[in-house]
Chain A
Amino acid sequence: MYRVYGAAKGCQKILGGSVKMRVINKGIPKIDGIDIATGKAVYTDDLSSNNALVIKILRSPHAFARIKSINTERAQEVPGVECILTYKDVPGVRFTLAGQSYPEPSPYDRLILDEYVRYVGDEVAIIAAVDEKTALKALKLVEVEYEVFEPVLDFEEAEGHPSIVHPEDDIHLNMDIGMNREKNIASSYKLEIGDVDSELAESDIIVEKTYYTQAQAHAMMETYRAFSYLDHNGRLTIVSSTQIPFHVRGIVARALQIPQSKVRVIKPRIGGGFGGKQTASVEIFPALVTLKTGKPAKIIYDRKETFSSTTSRHAMRITVKLGADKEGNIKAIDMQALSDTGAYGEHAPTVFSVAGHKTLPLYNKAQAVRYMGNVVYTNKMPAGALRGYGVTQGTFALESAINELAAELNMDPVVIREKNIIKEGETNPILEGSKDGNPAALESCALESCIKKGKELIRWHEKYPRKVISDTKVRGVGMAITMQGSGIGGIDTASAVIKLNNDGFYTLLLGSTDMGTGSDTILAQIAAEVLDTTMDRIIVHAADTDISPYDTGSYASSTAYVTGNAVIKAAEDMRKKIVGSGAKLLGLSEKDVEFDGEFIKNINGKQKLSLNELAQRLISGEGKNQLIGMGTFGGETSPPPFVAGFAEVEVDKETGKIDLINYVAVVDCGTVINPNLARIQAEGGLVQGIGLAMYEDVQYSERGKMNSNTFMQYKIPCRKDIGKITVSFESSYEPTGPFGAKSIGEVVINTPAPAIANAVYNAVGVNVRKLPITPEKVLKGIMELISE
């Protein structure tokens, strides 16, 4: 039986002791699984009205231009066109589309429609018509005259480029993010612990290399979409496939200059997000049309718009300089980075800083570390949040450099990690929750055993560094480690509400957004565990800003940890209330009764009251007291989950073709709340990481038009591309986590790129430092080695 210890922390005592979990750590099927798998109409477009106006966007053909004139007269005349909006019709208040807690670090640098267009695909006009054909017909009739400018396309040449991407002087910043607008610098950042230069000067060995990570597309299967209407009170209601309903409410209200109380956002089932839907790319358009026309409106981005007019991962260049002694003890790490945020600054400062913050603590033996650089504006599609959020980029650079250092020292890459990695109980001043002079402690970490287990699973000792298969084929193994966070310490908060209904079942109200991850299910598991009940007695509702309790949203690996803790608090609150009101009805004192999930009873069990009866009597005239449990949580820290990743590749020495044979990932996400769902999260993240490593590349033409705007040109891995993937868990116990859990959503994407790069190096001696690792790059490297 679950015992209340007064706080979420109490749960560890149970797990640490002999009490067995009934629902936690069980591979329970997702509560919505069968319905979504068999095609029930539960996604945004399935729910939209047939009468909604259809919206199409006229987009800029130029990478950088000013609209000299725009004439919508002919387009307006097309029968069935309801409204056409240009930059003259929208509020002049800048905002960001980034879904972040207020005050957002992302610059307020965009308007709904602007006189300036800053990338090919930027919005020029909004066309709403009775159907798609009519909207498209009208779109072609809008006449625009542009003054075309020289675009800034190469992010390495953006700083000080003669063209200024944001010439306007009304950009609003909520805080100092180091912007230097006239130099195209959206944000700059520096972190230094210790004296890096002098530690480097004293190091025996220095390795310095520059790495490039490309822009990556989220490529969720359900493209961006939303519809809106005015409800019976004239309030704007938006149904959107979003990860951030509460932030969408705020963003739309600011952009349209209406009070948040006039906006309601509903999130139905979501067909994947991966951080893309943490940016409010589409909601404003139907909202604006509905406000202007009073009519329902919907927008569905096609795949091309999804690729070329939303956001992608920030492309980065990171130069890593490592100093070590001859035994492989790392003394100093210096990371100099440059990030490409594209035309607008969504998530620009935070993705950038996180790339250092969530990589450097791995090697806490270093005496001095530094992470610094700039985020620049360019005339390309804006970058944004994407699973991994900078850590993926930082991990590729740092882990690749560590592997190159190991090679320089003629040392096994596993051994160099064993010497240098952070361990449970140790501190590091970069970990979230650190205060000046008081570095935060790592309370849970099984990284060492993850590495050990991974080594065994891939059979490292047999395979490292390479095995010759034939005259033309050779296999190599490689590895990398990573960490992430669990929510944003001191910022992310979530609330949960539990209602006891009149038949003795519960409703769990959440503001988090299950985008396929299974978070609704694992949060119900947490509630069921605390309430000593079964999954079928818990109904989950999420998310509707009018009904759901506040939640920052599902991003930053926060839902299991942050919302999970809120659910524990709400469920414990509910337990207390059940015991209290049960005791009252039984005429006993609270301390003399217990609740076993079904009955409230006295200690000998002779006097008892079923939960059903309690619930019935409480909502009746007799009780007049429906029970509502409530909990809010926000973490001071952001406990990192860890992964050790191991790749085995086969390289064709004559063509450079790489076949991924095996990938092993051993994950420490603390207590695994649902092993089946956690495994899928891990496998899915690994394959997305494999895509980044080997196949995916957002590419632009010389004039800045995106070439990779279909699934024909932008290749996400198919099921033949991934070899065999093995996922294993080495659980630590996170004392601040729900039942000891940490996050898993993002950390799993980070290791494939550096581990595969390392495996290729171990196979054929070629270091590919610019992602993706394509056959062409590998063959070029092989040729160069031969000619040396």
Chain B
Amino acid sequence: MKIKVIINNQNMELDVAYDEFLADTLRRYGFLSVKKGCDTGSCGLCTVWVDDKPVLSCATLSVRINGKKITTIEGVQKEAKEFAEYLVNEGAEQCGFCSPGFIMTVLAMKRELQNPTVEEITHYLTGNLCRCTGYMGQLRAVKKYLGVV
């Protein structure tokens, strides 16, 4: 089925199978930042925004995004780099495989929560698993980035 979408501010027409999920579609169309880590909606690696909300692209049927706006980290490179600097300064990107999805969630959180507490930050980011860092360095980076004391 042909669907019309706006990906990273560009109008695109995609040809997708009915049972294809967005993570696969995006990778097929060259958005290789989108990673898959679990197949069960548990890890958050595939997080992208649909109409500015963070969703699991591995659990979103591509046909259902017809007419919607998709944002991957390729589309917010400037902002992503700003935060990535904080992350990398802590060494908290480690293997980096979960970083794009993590950063997309952090940037969504920045838009959604006003002056979040540490507890609220942790809650918002719980759907993003990371096996390398032990999370502490990620939290240090987020706190510095958002100016949370």
Contact = CB atoms under 8 A, between A and B. Distances in A.
A37 B99 contact: yes
B97 A271 contact: yes
Given A272-B95, A680-B137, A719-B135, A37 B88 contact: yes
A716 B37 CA distance: 13
Given A27-B91, A688-B131, A716-B129, A32 B42 contact: no
A198 interface: no
Contact of B39 (A518, A676, A679, A710): A710
Contact of B134 (A274, A518, A685): A685
Interface in B97-136: 97-100, 103, 122-123, 125-126, 128-136
Contact of B137 (A303, A304, A683): A683
A221 interface: yes
A221 B73 contact: no
Contacts of B100: 37-39
Interface in A681-699: 683-688
Contacts of A218: 131
B134 A725 contact: yes
Given A676-B90, A679-B91, A223 B134 contact: no
A38 B81 contact: yes
A41 interface: yes
A41 B35 CA distance: 10
B147 to A, nearest CB: 20
Contacts of B94: 272, 516-518, 680, 684
Given A271-B97, A272-B95, A303-B38, A38 B136 contact: no
Contact of A516 (B40, B43, B95, B137): B95
A221 B98 contact: yes
Contacts of A711: 37-38, 40, 42-43, 129
Contacts of B38: 303, 710-711
Contact of A680 (B35, B92, B126): B92
B80 interface: yes
Contacts of B39: 302-304, 710
A720 B123 contact: yes
Interface in A226-260: none
Interface residues of B, number: 50
A566 B17 CA distance: 52
28 contacts: A33-B96, A35-B96, A36-B93, A36-B95, A37-B84, A37-B88, A37-B93, A37-B96, A38-B84, A41-B32, A221-B35, A223-B37, A270-B95, A271-B95, A271-B96, A271-B97, A272-B97, A516-B97, A677-B91, A680-B90, A683-B133, A683-B134, A684-B132, A685-B134, A687-B133, A710-B38, A710-B40, A719-B128
B52 interface: no
Interface in B31-53: 32-35, 37-40, 42-43, 45
Name, among B34, B74, B92, B125, the residue most crowded by chain A CB atoms within 10 Å (CB to CB): B92
Name, among B45, B74, B93, the residue most crowded by chain A CB atoms within 10 Å (CB to CB): B93
A779 B146 CA distance: 41
A132 B54 CA distance: 28
A19 interface: no
Contacts of B103: 37-38
A34 B91 contact: no
Contacts, number: 172
Contact of A39 (B72, B91, B130, B132): B72
Given A221-B35, A711-B40, A719-B125, A34 B95 contact: no
Interface string A22-47: 00000101101111111111010010
Given A38-B81, A39-B99, A272 B40 contact: no
A516 B125 contact: no
A320 interface: no
Contacts of B35: 43, 221-222, 271
A659 to B, nearest CB: 14
Interface of B: 32-35, 37-40, 42-43, 45, 72-74, 77, 80-81, 84-85, 87-100, 103, 122-123, 125-126, 128-139
Interface string A281-312: 00000000000000000000011100000000
Name, among B87, B90, B97, B129, the residue most crowded by chain A CB atoms within 10 Å (CB to CB): B97
Nearest to A674: B91
A485 B133 CA distance: 22
A38 B107 CA distance: 12
Nearest to A690: B134
Contacts of A515: 95
A687 B95 contact: no
A722 B135 contact: yes
Looking at chain A's contact residues, is the secondary structure mostly helix, strand, loop, or mixed? loop
A269 B135 contact: no
A219 B40 CA distance: 14
Contacts of B131: 218-221, 272, 274, 684, 688, 716
Contacts of A219: 131
Name, among A37, A46, A272, the residue most crowded by chain B CB atoms within 10 Å (CB to CB): A37
A685 B134 CA distance: 7
Contact of A712 (B40, B84, B126): B40
B96 A32 contact: yes
Contact of B130 (A46, A221, A302, A518): A221
A676 B80 CA distance: 21
A175 interface: no
Nearest to A517: B94
Contact of B133 (A39, A46, A680): A680
Nearest to A300: B36
Interface in A637-677: 674, 676-677
CB-CB nearest 8 A-B residue pairs:
A39-B33, A516-B95, A36-B96, A271-B97, A687-B134, A33-B88, A683-B134, A711-B42
A220 B88 contact: no
Contacts of A41: 32-33
Name, among B72, B74, B90, B122, the residue most crowded by chain A CB atoms within 10 Å (CB to CB): B90
Nearest to B121: A719
Contacts of B125: 719
Nearest to A675: B91
Interface string A200-219: 00000000000000000011
B37 A30 contact: no
A718 interface: yes
A677 B92 CA distance: 8
A303 B37 CA distance: 7
Contacts of A32: 96
Contacts of B90: 676, 680
A719 B91 contact: no
Given A712-B42, A720-B126, A33 B134 contact: no
A300 B91 CA distance: 28
B40 A221 contact: no
A46 B91 CA distance: 23
B142 to A, nearest CB: 10
A687 B137 contact: no
Contacts of A43: 35, 97
A273 to B, nearest CB: 8
Nearest to B32: A41
Given A39-B99, A679-B91, A680-B137, A46 B80 contact: no
Given A220-B131, A221-B130, A272-B132, 5 more contacts: A27-B91, A46-B32, A272-B97, A679-B91, A719-B130
Nearest to A223: B37
A697 B81 CA distance: 37
B98 A30 contact: no
A39 B81 CA distance: 10
Contacts of A686: 134
A373 B39 CA distance: 39
A722 B95 contact: no
Nearest to A718: B126
B37 A516 contact: no
Contacts of A222: 35, 37, 95, 97
Contacts of A718: 126, 129
Contacts of A302: 39
A309 to B, nearest CB: 14
